[in-house]
Amino acid sequence: MVKVAVIYYSSTGTNYQLAKWAEEAAKAAGAEVKVVRAPENAPEAAVASNPAWKEHIEATKDVPEVTSDVIEWADGIIFSVPTRFGAVPSQMKSVIDSQGGLWATGKTVNKVVTAMTSAANPHGGQEATLLNLYTAMMHWGAIIVPPGYSNEVLYGAGGNPYGTSVTQGQDGKMVEDVEGAVKHQAKRLVEVTTKVAGE
């Protein structure tokens, strides 16, 4: 049984939902799964200015925060993050940047990785965010597993070959139907991780 960490950051809940769908699919594919979140590092004033943000933090306070131990434990990692100006949000960047100890001892090498994202509009930096995250994974020596066009379900979700991406509307709800794409991407991650871990 391969071990998969679903590591997410979500301010108002979109990427939390993507993470939960990924967890469901990875478990169904036979993996042992841990869902963990990036710690919130935004100023309290910023959080307080957005009721949905504050509400989501409270609703998910029992989700464990990611640690280096979880990253070391995992054979495969599914990241889910919103875009921030076309890049990874500072909350997740801090997690990645603090893994120097694992990196220096070779413990990030051959982790099998895939990623998902969201933004407030269809061209809000989703692809750039995924590529930004994957660049860090190259430094880790990770094996990147994008969905590509490996299943028809991806087209209905917008057809992003780098990873599932979704638009969050002004009402806070997802615009595209991406549940199937997320689950396919998670299943694919488990399949490839199983092959890598079995060698």
Distance (Å, whole) CA 184 – CA 187: 5
Q: Is 124 exposed, middle or buried (0-12, 13-18, 19+ CB in 10 A)?
A: buried
Element of type H or E holding 16: helix 14-28
- Is 199's pLDDT higher than 60? no
| Residues 159, 127 contacting (CB under 8 angstroms) | no
Where do the structural domains in the chain lie, given as residue ranges? 3-197
Mean pLDDT value across residues 2-9: 98
Q: Around Cβ 10, how many Cβ atoms within 10 Å? A: 25
Tokens coding 173: 């709800």
- What's the rounded Cα separation, in Å, for the pair 189 and 182? 11
Helix 90-97, helix 126-140: angle, nearest 10:
10
Provide the pLDDT for residue 92.
98
The predicted model gives 2-31 an average pLDDT of 98
Q: Each residue of 91-119: pLDDT tens digit?
A: 999 999 999 999 999 999 999 999 999 99
The fold adopted by the segment(s) 3-197 is: Rossmann fold (3.40.50)
**Would you say the pTM of this structure is higher than 0.95?**
yes
27 phi and psi angles, rounded to 5 deg: -65, -40
Helix H or strand E segment including 196:
helix 179-197
